[in-house]
Amino acid sequence: MTLQFELLQGEAQSARLGRLHTPHGSVQTPAFMPVATRGMMRGIFPQQLRPMGVEMALCNSFHLYARPGVEVVQKLGGVHGMLAWDGPILTDSGGFQVFSLGALNQVHKDGVEVEHPIYGGKINWTPKLAFETQAGLAPDVAMLLDICPDKPLDQKICADAVQRTVEWARIQRDLHDQRGGASSGQAQFAIVQGGVFGDLREQCAKQLVEMEFDGYAIGGVSVGEGHEAMMKGVEHSCPYLPLQQARYLMGVGTPQDLVEGVARGIDMFDCVFPARAGRFGTALTDQGRLHLLNAKFKDDARPIDPECDCEGCLSKVPRGALRAGFKSKELLPPILVSLHNLHYIQKLMQRMRTAIADGSFAQLRMNILRSYLPARLAELERNA
């Protein structure tokens, strides 16, 4: 079976309901993919993912290439065997890692020289190598190698990133066709770049759509530019993407960004934020973030969230005990709070799907913004 996206409800720039069909099962959208960067969740058991609502996960091909290597992953059953997960998997190509590892100044015509994160030395990470790596890892969806600009407000830098992104997309599209295209069992998603500039986003999206990819991502929007600029990148991209194909906003995972992304027509998300925030003592709730390391939680006997039915909350470990455990560098507190946060985000996605279907999404959006982004809520209420 090849990948197919079924749009059930919604338009180009509104909250949408859909279903993404893959060789490893279907995914209800809007959907959030937890991140197993190196083929393994941090502190979360594989068998805990489905009960909390996870239907698709993400791994990073660059890091798996670096260690343990493609041949080892293949011997372990591909990326699905590595993760011990039989559902759909998407792999990122390493474009963001080039940005995060500070290698953007090493970009050349054919690829980028990036420092090996494990052994030192240099890796010449090219579109061809990124493609071959993901073909070997065998995810359901492979992302294209692109250029994620480190200054999304700099027009010249963003224009150069768009040009290189489109050039590399053509290379990877041709390699995909040579491998058999859709019959290979692996789908390709292209990535729209362009920073906050509408003309660059339009140019990039149109050129990628002409190549007819299986889905489209919006990249370069979670690199420190702020919520409003991030949403501008979405608004400048979605109108030029096919209505009947999946839209994926990369690297976004706070409650406010998720609800605002869905409101603008996004179907898929991923981010390390929920689990990472949990590992550092921050819990997500409908009342906002709880910073459990704060002194006010020292003798708080309540669970993380009394209204939550996740394993972390049902364990009834008190907030005060979690705080003490974080202070003592115990292993259990970051696991329990990470588990809670992933559960909260998955339930939020489920609530958004239900709200879109029954017409109450606007109210849910207001409730989330009230707790997480009150300035945006005030703006919406002024314009209502």
pLDDT band of residue 205 (cuts 50, 70, 90) is very high
Distant-in-sequence, close-in-space partners of 234: CB < 8 Å, separation ≥ 6: 218, 221, 249, 261, 264, 265, 266
In the chain the domains, ranked by start, together with CATH numbers, are 4-271 (3.20.20.105), 288-383 (no CATH)
Neighbours of 244 (CB within 10 A): 10
Q: In the predicted model, what is the mean pLDDT of the chain?
A: 94
The residue among 379 and 24 whose pLDDT is bigger is: 24
Residue 4 near residue 21 (C-beta atoms within 8 A): yes
10 Å CB burial of residue 136 (0-12, 13-18, 19+) is middle
Per the residue annotation, which of 140, 257, 270, 305 is the catalytic one?
270
Per the residue annotation, which of 92, 140, 267, 305 is the catalytic one?
92
Q: pLDDT tens digit string along 123-133? A: 999 999 999 99
Q: pLDDT tens digit string along 51-90? A: 999 999 999 999 999 999 999 999 999 999 999 999 999 9
Q: How is residue 210 written in tokens?
A: 């002409």
Active site residue 305: no
pLDDT band of residue 107 (cuts 50, 70, 90) is confident
Q: How many residues does the chain have?
A: 384
Which of 187, 248, 169, 220 has the alpha carbon at shortest distance from 21? 187
DSSP assignments along 161-215, one per residue = HHHHHHHHHHHHHHHHHHHTGGGGT-EEEEEE--TT-HHHHHHHHHHHHHT--SE
pLDDT band of residue 221 (cuts 50, 70, 90) is confident
Please name the amino acid found at residue 74.
Q
- Judged against a pLDDT cut of 60, whether residue 325 lies above it is answered with yes
* pTM (2 d.p.): 0.96
pLDDT band of residue 244 (cuts 50, 70, 90) is very high
Q: Is 79 helix (H, G, I), strand (E, B) or coil?
A: helix
pLDDT band of residue 1 (cuts 50, 70, 90) is low
Active site residue 270: yes
- Judged against a pLDDT cut of 90, whether residue 384 lies above it is answered with no
